[in-house]
Amino acid sequence: MGEHAVVYGYPAFAIPLLSTPVIVKIKQSENNSLISKYYAGKIEQIPDSLAGVKFLIGLLDKEMNNNHVNYTISIDSGLPIERGMGSSAAIACAITRAFFDFFDQKLDHQTLLNYVNKSETVTHGKASGLDALTVSSEYPIKFSKDEAPKAFTFNSEGFIVIADSGVKGKTKETVADVRKMYDENTKVIGAYLKQLGDYATDANKYLNQGNLKQLGLVFSLANEILTKLNLAIPKTDKLIDAANLAGSLGSKITGGGRGGCIICLARNLTNAQMIQKALIKNGAEQTWIQPLSIYAEDSDFD
């Protein structure tokens, strides 16, 4: 909740998808190379679509004062890239952790965030830091106007269902387009962004109260604003309609928009599975179901 608005300092919160980790391994080898679903080959020839990864590897290599060890980096990620799921931040986070481990260096959280954010700036342009914080945390992260971002826990029933539309969302492009709209019509677009921030605050309150019905409602209200910001496309609209018809308490685009993923709220597992079925039937490429109970303070989710 609060994506795009957070870039302007408004409240937001995001939850880490704990059931889908990104695993990066580094092994000594003859040449510096990368093995991943999206590219396999020499690090110096990494394509522009993975510019953030290439930049980060170069930076880490330099800062580890490495001038003699060659390595192969392998990335194993269940998250699709360019779908508003924070996968670029998650990959950057795992690469940084793997590098520090490989070179036997201690890594504190702030240093980790600095590296991820530098990589994100190459991938997305100026980022709010929300993705970096979220993917490096076991707990949801809250951004508010007056305090530093912080992790929080909540006790709530319910499930989230996420669906990938299969359409690439270009966060860099949508963030730049919203900025252009804001510069051209600050009053109206500024009011939309503030409203998104307010919905994020409301959603946070309803999560704490375990009020799923109201939470679902603010999901849908936020989606209306995201649509006004030109972040919806027919495919995500279709998925949202299908989820709502199948009993979702509320559904919205998640992340940068104009493609990418949608997120829905379900009352219970049966409800979540019915929504999942409808999403698949309506063309979702991949879906994830996650209980909200894993964010409770005493959760033993591992």
In whole angstroms, how large is the CA radius of gyration of the chain? 19
**Member of 17, 46, 79, 127 binding ligand MEV (CB under 6 A):** 127
Residue 293 phi, psi dihedral angles, 5° rounding: -65, -15
Q: Measuring CA to CA, which residue among 96, 32, 90 is closest to residue 59? A: 96
Q: State how beta strands 33-35 and 71-77 pair.
A: parallel
Give yes or no for residue 130 binding ligand MEV (CB under 6 A): yes
Interface with ligand MEV, residue 86, by CB under 6 A: yes
Q: How many CA atoms lie within 13 A of 280 on its CB side?
A: 10
Residues 6+ apart with CB under 8 A from 109: 136
- Spell out where 153-204 has E strands: 159-164
Nearer to ligand MEV, 43 or 263 (CB): 263
Query: Left (φ > 0), alpha (ψ -120 to 50) or beta: where does 257 sit?
Result: left
User: Among 33, 87, 123, 128, which residue interacts with ligand MEV (rule: CB under 6 A)?
Assistant: 128
* Helices 109-124 and 51-63: angle between axes, nearest 10 degrees: 140
Give min distance, CB of 49 to ligand MEV, in A. 17
Choices 3-11, 38-46, 54-62, 70-78 (CB under 6 A): range interacting with ligand MEV: 3-11
**One residue of 92, 175, 212, 225 binding ligand MEV per CB under 6 A:** 175
Check residue 255 for interaction with ligand MEV (CB under 6 A): yes
- Options 38-46, 125-133, 181-189, 198-206: segment touching ligand MEV (CB under 6 A): 125-133
131 binds ligand MEV (CB under 6 A): yes
Total of residues contacting ligand MEV (CB under 6 A): 14
Other C-beta atoms closer than 10 Å to the C-beta of 40 total 12
Which residues fall within 8 angstroms of residue 139, CB to CB, at 6 or more apart?
16, 151, 152, 153, 295
Q: How far is the CB of 288 from ligand MEV (least distance, A)?
A: 16
For ligand MEV, which stretch binds (CB under 6 A), given 4-12, 29-37, 54-62, 273-281? 4-12
State which residue, 7 or 221, has the beta carbon closest to ligand MEV.
7
Nearer to ligand MEV, 239 or 242 (CB): 239
Q: Can you give the binding site for ligand MEV, defined by CB under 6 A?
A: 3-4, 6-7, 84, 86, 127-128, 130-131, 171, 175, 255-256
